[in-house]
Amino acid sequence: MIKEQALDILKEDIAKGYPFSDDFYWRYKDNFVDNDVLVNKIDRHMTEHLTFNQFINFSQFLSLFSFYRMIYSFTIKEDFEGAKIELSRANQYAYMTYHIGSQACKNLNTEDFANHFTGDMQHAAPLLASTVLANDWKNAQLVAEDLINSLNATSCIIGRGNSKATVSWFMLKLLSEIFEQPIDKRKPRHPSDFDLYEMVLENYNTTDVKEVEKLVYLLADKHLENLNLSLEDEEEIHSPFLQIIPFEIIVFLKVRTKIGLKNPTSFLHPLMSQAFVNEILTDNNILEKSIELPYAKELLSELKEEYPDYDKKRQEPTLTTKKEKVTLLKALAPKTGRYRASLPNKHPQAKQLEGDPHSYARFLKDDTFIYEGLEEYDLSEITWSYIGD
């Protein structure tokens, strides 16, 4: 009964616009392109000098905005077809943010590479979920691999992750299983408070439908723990739009369907008994790509103009073609103590390496310096400096 009341209060709050202020909530009431105030606001930003940072911020905002509009259409307007159009947009913007963004942040060869935008993993959950909810498994795999590559230190779009981003971690670990894209055990900032999610992951492919129903109920209770949060809370599920849709549970169930497993046909938990949840779960057709994708062409055009080579394959340093690189990799620690790896100050990756925890290590006298975790850097330019015991 408490859960039903919580959901009713939540729906009432969303209908009122709470906790959004009036000048924020109106964004969801009109069609995207018909909302002159919003369009003009974005246009003003678009006329400014577009940096790589702004590209990621824009596309991330557009994906999350479309995801919110999808939920608004499902819950308040009860416009399922309109909601699916918004979901399609969220999926496409997620691809722009993480796939094109990863491509760019790996390949920039200017000073912007050192100062590139690194997204917070706490914002990744709705974007990643949108690819699966849209049944776009190709996009889901690309985006998941981009995020996992960043966790594994071969890309940079979300850095090494965020230990508080438990929902994102849950979905990524789930997708890493079905896409056979392992996550490194050492390099990422692995999640805390993860016992429930770990239990679900250990049993994600169970054939026991009753066990699945039990896991779903526990996950739904976990999702509702966020009901007391506000927009100011630095948590993954902080807005009423995200609180009312159990998107990570839908991802879990859709993954099971994708690999040929049966799911319960109904659920006891009120969070899972909402009509739109059933609509998403039972529709396994890939959503048609939205022809109208506001600002996509403009963003990509501006990015290409500012960084013409962003999408070209970046020349990775080889470790055997130049003698000095071989010598460098065989360098020994002159004495026991802590060392720091660094690059020349003017090197485009110098600042990035300076803040990387893998640049610090302790070695015994005559140990060979270890470069694990630093593979994305120009190894030929790295030097190790003794910084004390």
CB 341 within 8 A of CB 285: no
Q: Give pTM, 2 decimals.
A: 0.73
* Relative orientation angle of helices 124-133 and 52-72, to the nearest 10 degrees: 60
Alpha carbons within 13 angstroms on the beta-carbon side of residue 350 total: 10
Q: What's the angle, vertex CA 237, arms to CA 139 and CA 132, rounded to 5?
A: 20
Q: Is the peptide bond before 19 cis (omega within 30 degrees of 0)?
A: yes
Q: Which residues of the chain have pLDDT under 50?
A: 1-2, 17-26, 49, 109-111, 113-115, 230-232, 314-328
With H, G, I as helix, E, B as strand and everything else as coil, classify residue 200.
Answer: helix
Which pLDDT score is estimated for 301?
Answer: 80
User: E-assigned strands of 323-382?
Assistant: 337-342, 360-363
**Token code pair at residue 346:** 């003017």
Using CA atoms, how far apart are residues 268 and 319, in angstroms rounded to an integer? 58
Spatial contact of 289 and 92, defined as CB atoms under 8 Å apart = yes
Q: Which residues pair with 385 in a beta bridge?
A: 340
pLDDT of residue 289: 85
Rounded (10°) CA dihedral 301, 305, 311, 316: -160
β-partners of residue 388 are 338
> Are the beta carbons of 284 and 256 closer than 8 angstroms?
no
Place of tokens 């006329």: 47
Helix (H, G, I), strand (E, B) or coil at 368: strand
Q: Mention every residue, 6+ apart, whose C-beta is less than 8 A from residue 356.
A: 373, 374
Mark out the alpha helices in 259-322 (DSSP H runs): 275-282, 296-306
User: How many CB atoms are closer than 10 A to CB 81?
Assistant: 7
| Residue 377: other Cβ atoms inside 10 A | 22
Residue 277 CA to residue 270 CA, distance in Å, equals 11
pLDDT at 324 (0 to 100): 34
Q: Which amino acid is at 66?
A: S
Cβ contact 272:220 at 8 Å: yes
Q: What pLDDT does residue 382 have?
A: 85
For the chain, domain boundaries: 2-306, 323-388
Residues 6+ apart with CB under 8 A from 256: 204, 205, 212, 262, 263
